[in-house]
Amino acid sequence: MPSVYIKTYGCQMNERDSEAVSAQLVAKGYTLAASESAADVILLNTCSVRDAAEQKAIGKMRTLAAEMRRHRPEVVLGFMGCMAQSRGRELIDKLPDVDLVIGTQKFHRAADHLDEIFAGKRDKVVDVAEEQGSEATIREHVLNGIGASKPVTAFVSIMQGCNQRCTFCIVPDTRGAERSRTIADVVAECRELVARGVREITLLGQIVTSYGRREIPVRDGKSGFVQLLEAVHEIEGLERIRFTSPHPKGYGDDLVEAYARLPKLVESAHLPVQSGSDAMLKAMHRGYTREKYLGIIGKLRGVRPQMGVTTDIIVGFPGETEADFEDTLSLAREVEFDNAYIFKYSPRRETPAAEMPGQLPRAVKEERNARLLAVINEIGARRYENYVGRQAEILVEGPSKRNPARLMGRTRSNKIVVIDGSERHRGQLMDVKVTRAGSFTLYGDPAIINVE
């Protein structure tokens, strides 16, 4: 059977979609190639959030197409995911060597389409239609991937789509309207993962706090999302629950209170703020103010003082003045984020912000990006340094990426800790003493805890 290589751009949802497609292909008899050069099929799973991400994937496909045309013309080339969804056939018109374009509601059809291409029944396939029930098709996991031992952590997609309509964002168009899986379905998937050795699960969605808003009635004041957290929390053998990304609007008292009740829910929140200026938040259509956001952080830290908080911030949104930007700098200092992903605003087609007056030059975006990054790095370094000398519980995930001779795990607040240890520690919850802080990484010593 042919072998497939999938290269993924963008967010964790894309990583998860690629994993599910890989597992679905393996179930149909395809094999997973370790590299592009060994593959009979190369699929690029794409991101549309910024123009740079789209250009990167298009550039990569151009290089692949030229290479394959010269040396291995039989190789099947395809785009999947967000850019495939938003551009559809246009991608084949632009890059005629592309054989396959699969949208975000059609990942589960990848194997069928490839079968038809290999059987010679179809030449080119573009499948970007909407499909009812597609939110429940991202289910399979590759738990014994190429050379990988059994993973300790896993991502579970709980919903698809987004109804938020932030004025900068293309995602509602690429991912469609919000659709949630049932609680029973998500719990069944989590149970299977735990039975196969997974100890930590991250629930995934564009806006997880909107989970079940249409499908699951509020019960005892608890949203569908909180009901889901409770149900997943019941799973015996599961040690930790994370989720990403929530929306600040979704932090009702039921969710804040869930942190007090559910010990498996770890002290970590990735809470995209986008800007510290009320004028910008309004223009972005975010639905909260700076004060409201700070209030949520205060409540979360009130319940769990060790809460690690990370965020997404856009710099250079249309009309952002120096004073607006300084509001973002001051918000970053006030919250003391553990880390932040900073994005230079990128106009996306058919989004309201792309048509707004006051589009800023690239130099301004770059300068603000650099200034904000310096502040985020300074605060992050201080927060990481605070861990030194303290004890922390980590879940050991496997070899450290930078130095595979060492192990890495994460604290409940989502900080990576590198330790010395052996394979038998994988999957263990371990108390370590943090001995040193590097750049957004901690170094720990389990032995020191043991002798004390």
Residues of this chain that bind ligand SAM (CB under 6 A): 11, 49-50, 166, 168-169, 171, 206-207, 245, 247, 272, 274, 312, 314, 343, 345-346, 348
Which residues lie below 8 Å from residue 314, measured CB to CB, with a gap of 6+? 168, 274, 275, 284, 342, 343, 344, 345
Cβ-based nearer residue to ligand SAM, 222 or 348: 348
Q: 417 with 409: CB under 8 angstroms?
A: yes
* Minimum CB–partner distance for residue 166 and ligand SAM (Å): 6
Q: Which residues are within 8 A (CB) of 414 and not within 5 positions of it... i.e. 6 or more apart?
A: 242, 266, 268, 308, 310, 338
CB of 219 to ligand SAM, least distance (A): 25
Q: Nearest approach, Cβ of 313 to ligand SAM (angstroms)?
A: 7
Nearest residue (CB) to ligand SAM, 11 versus 379: 11
Reduce the DSSP state of residue 430 to 3 states and report it: strand
The SS3 call for residue 409 is strand
Q: How far is the CB of 440 from ligand SAM (least distance, A)?
A: 18
CB closer to ligand SAM, 78 vs 272: 272
Q: How many CB atoms lie within 10 A of CB 291?
A: 8
Closer residue to ligand SAM in complex, CB, 61/284? 284
Q: How many CA atoms does the CB half-sphere of 33 hold within 13 Å?
A: 17
Give the torsion sign (CA, 275, 276, 280, 285): positive
Nearer to ligand SAM, 274 or 411 (CB): 274
Q: Which is nearer to ligand SAM, 157 or 411 (CB)?
A: 157
Peptide bond into 346 cis (omega under 30): no
> Which candidate, 222, 239, 225, 119, places its Cα nearest to that of 181?
225
Is 314 or 392 the residue whose CB approaches ligand SAM more closely? Answer: 314
Sheet holding 240-244, edge to edge: 153-157, 200-204, 240-244
Minimum distance of ligand SAM from residue 392's CB (angstroms): 28
Name the minimum Å distance from CB 374 to ligand SAM: 19
CB of 271 to ligand SAM, least distance (A): 8
Give the C-alpha separation, 1 to 432, whole Å.
Answer: 46
